Amino acid sequence: MFSKACEYGIRASMYIALQSLEGKRVSLKEIAEEIDSPVAFTAKILQQLSRNKIVDSVKGSAGGFQIEKEQIKKIKLSEIVYAIDGDNVYVGCGLGLKKCNANKPCPVHDKFVAIRDNLKNMLESASLQEMTEGLEVGTTYLKR
Amino acid sequence: MFSKACEYGIRASMYIALQSLEGKRVSLKEIAEEIDSPVAFTAKILQQLSRNKIVDSVKGSAGGFQIEKEQIKKIKLSEIVYAIDGDNVYVGCGLGLKKCNANKPCPVHDKFVAIRDNLKNMLESASLQEMTEGLEVGTTYLKR
DNA sequence: AGAAATTCGGATAAATTTATCCTGTTTATG
DNA sequence: CATAAACAGGATAAATTTATCCGAATTTCT
Ligand code: FES
Ligand code: FES
């Protein structure tokens, strides 16, 4: 569904959001530990997220990553996915034709579009804030 | 969503089904041309489909691939996907945790499961037969 | 029987994704 | 000001997926 990079990116954003809500800034090392991801690869992804203004990075000693509380409410999963995987989730054809195109549809087009729209709505409505709620009360997890 | 191999596999199966309904057996070369896929790679995928009894292959001159008419009615897209991509569509977690697990769910679990079930139902209900109907009348396409 | 058309399967190569390493820069702190 | 902690970014490596090549086996047709 999503690339590994994107999965790590989402999990990392969720963890940063969770800690930012408590006023804590977190280091790359801590993030990678808490979401069970490879450190250096996660660094690359966080750079992307930082460039895309999804997370704030602070250099230097006592630096790390954080997300402003206002942003945590506003940022939707769709923005994270877009920053890392681009728009292929939205424009891709289920059977791999160049782009999904209703004028020359593949045989699964109608059914696939329904599923994709479903996914799209989910991603566009789910905020980081919403995602952290289960983490706070311990009903959802970022690693096992 | 699906691997390239799987996309080619689905498109190839659809083309073979389309021709089989007219009593025609088709060669690898023709298939690859008609679905716009790399010949040798498509050969590998057809081998897999053949081993999984999704298509019949006939060796030798005038050989090629075909699917029995009875089978065209019965075979669902889910079987093709399973033969090539395995069950990761069904058991995978949206955020990349080892396996989707309702007992220790990731933050998107509930929403993701809904989408996945949607996809699953689609794949399990769509038969090759149904897929060929649009191709026959020219309202759907396997390449552009 | 011989030639041609075709799939099968193993080996290999190219491309992409995932992951690591290392050096440089920034910044808090003592 | 020196040091240590931390991110940034380029180069590189490993793993996986995608793709190609080629010889062998099978079958039809002349
Ligand atoms: S054309 Fe294939 S999904 Fe729209
Ligand atoms: S645990 Fe992540 S989708 Fe079910």
The reply to whether A63 Cβ lies less than 7 angstroms from strand C is: yes
Average pLDDT over residues B74-98: 97
Specify the pTM: 0.95
Nucleotide nearest to B40 (CA to C1'): D20
Tens digit of pLDDT at every position of chain A (144 positions)? 999 999 999 999 999 999 999 999 999 999 999 999 999 999 999 999 999 999 999 999 999 999 999 999 999 999 999 999 999 999 999 999 999 999 999 999 999 999 999 999 999 999 999 999 999 999 999 999
Residue-wise pLDDT tens digits, B23-69? 999 999 999 999 999 999 999 999 999 999 999 999 999 999 999 99
Phi, psi of B26, deg, nearest 5: -120, 150
For residue A57, give how far its alpha carbon lies from the nearest alpha carbon of chain B (Å).
23
The CATH number that domain B4-132 falls under is: 1.10.10.10
CA atoms of A25 and A27, how far apart (whole Å): 7
Report how many Cβ contacts below 8 Å link chain A to chain B: 101
pLDDT in the model for residue B60: 96
**Token pair 């690339």 is at which residue?**
A3
**Bridge-partner residues for A57, per DSSP?**
A65
pLDDT in the model for residue B57: 98
- Interface membership of A121 toward B (CB under 8 Å): no
Phi, psi of A127, deg, nearest 5: -95, 160
The reply to whether A46 Cβ lies less than 7 angstroms from strand D is: yes
Cβ(A54)–Cβ(A14) below 8 Å: no
Work out the burial of residue A22: count CB atoms within 10 Å of its CB; fewer than 13 is exposed, 13-18 middle, 19 or more buried. exposed
pLDDT in the model for residue B93: 98
Cβ(B34)–Cβ(B15) below 8 Å: yes
Ligand 1 contact, A105 CB (< 6 A): yes
A residues 65-94 closer than 8 Å to B (CB): 77, 92, 94
Residue A43: count of CB within 10 angstroms of its CB:
14
3-state secondary structure of B37: coil
Chain D bases having any atom below 7 Å from a protein CB: 4-10, 17-22, 25-29
Calculate the angstrom distance between C1' of D11 and CA of A4.
22
For residue B56, give Cα distances in angstroms to A95, A125, B65, B86, B123.
22, 46, 6, 20, 21
Residue-wise pLDDT tens digits, B87-126? 999 999 999 999 999 999 999 999 999 999 999 999 999 9
Work out the burial of residue B136: count CB atoms within 10 Å of its CB; fewer than 13 is exposed, 13-18 middle, 19 or more buried. exposed
pLDDT in the model for residue B44: 98
Partners of residue A139 in chain B, C-beta under 8 Å = 105
CA atoms of B5 and B46, how far apart (whole Å): 10
Residue B41: count of CB within 10 angstroms of its CB:
13
Domain borders along chain B are 4-132
For residue B112, give Cα distances in angstroms to A78, A95, A114.
14, 21, 15
CA atoms of A108 and A105, how far apart (whole Å): 8
pLDDT band for position B7 (50/70/90)? very high
pLDDT in the model for residue B129: 98
Closest to A6 measured CA to CA, from B57, B96, B64? B96
CA atoms of A2 and A84, how far apart (whole Å): 9
Hey, are the CB atoms on A141 and B105 less than 8 Å from each other? yes
